[in-house]
């Protein structure tokens, strides 16, 4: 029970943190609320224990840099794509040429594949329809958007994070 986890916190401290949060959210405080909060805290911890168990000493600063690069790129791409799609939608002649492509990713991690799929969907003009194994089926509003999906800046950063 005293095993050290993320940031030197023990399981007891995590459970206590969850319980305090539960009590803070509860509208009233009594024995039932406390017991229910304790049980829920244990369940939440057990279901998420893998998320808490990594060693900060082994945590790569390069990963943090890549996460920051990824978020910066995502925000930039969302803003840029918004203007491009707005231009298409607001033009008198709606210049669209919808295409559906199947893109095969080199990513191994399921979570990184999901992040890639969601990032593609978040950028206006593209929508990830399915993700199965290593294949993403992507709908593009214009043919020109296909090139951005195939030459994915997102995937390049995620690949660096997988190493």
Residue 43, in any domain of the structure: yes
Tell me how far CA of residue 23 lies from CA of 10, 42, 57, 66, in angstroms: 20, 14, 33, 37
- Rounded to whole angstroms, the Cα distance separating 67 from 112 reads 12
pLDDT of residue 53: 54
Asked whether residue 125 falls in the same domain as residue 88, the answer is yes
- pLDDT-derived band at 123 (thresholds 50, 70, 90) equals confident
pLDDT of residue 137: 95
Asked whether residue 128 falls in the same domain as residue 81, the answer is yes
Q: Which domain holds residue 98?
A: 61-162
Q: Which of 129, 149, 145, 137 is nearest to 95 (CA)?
A: 145
Asked whether residue 143 falls in the same domain as residue 95, the answer is yes
pLDDT of residue 51: 64
Asked whether residue 121 falls in the same domain as residue 65, the answer is yes
- Rounded to whole angstroms, the Cα distance separating 8 from 20 reads 19
Output b/e per residue, 56-93; b: 16+ Cβ within 10 A. eeeeeeeeeebeeebeeebeebeeebeebbeebeeeee
Asked whether residue 42 falls in the same domain as residue 81, the answer is no
Residues 96, 102, 104, 107: what is their CA dihedral angle, to the nearest 10 degrees? 70
pLDDT (average), residues 1-11 = 53
| pTM metric for this prediction | 0.65
pLDDT of residue 58: 53
């Amino acid at each position: 029970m005293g095993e050290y986890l993320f940031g030197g916190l023990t399981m007891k401290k995590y459970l206590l943190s969850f319980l305090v949060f539960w009590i803070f959210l509860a509208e009233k405080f009594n024995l039932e609320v406390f017991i229910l909060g304790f049980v829920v805290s244990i369940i939440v911890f057990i279901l998420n224990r893998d998320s808490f168990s990594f060693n900060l000493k082994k945590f790569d600063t390069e990963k943090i840099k890549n996460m920051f690069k990824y978020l910066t790129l995502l925000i930039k791409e969302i803003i840029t794509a918004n203007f491009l799609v707005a231009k298409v939608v607001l033009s008198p002649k709606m210049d669209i040429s919808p295409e559906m492509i199947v893109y095969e990713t080199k990513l191994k991690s399921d979570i990184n594949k999901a992040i890639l799929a969601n990032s593609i969907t978040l950028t206006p003009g593209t929508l990830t329809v399915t993700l199965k194994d290593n294949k993403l089926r992507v709908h593009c509003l214009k043919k020109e958007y296909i090139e951005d999906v195939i030459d994915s800046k997102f995937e390049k950063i995620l690949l660096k994070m997988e190493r």
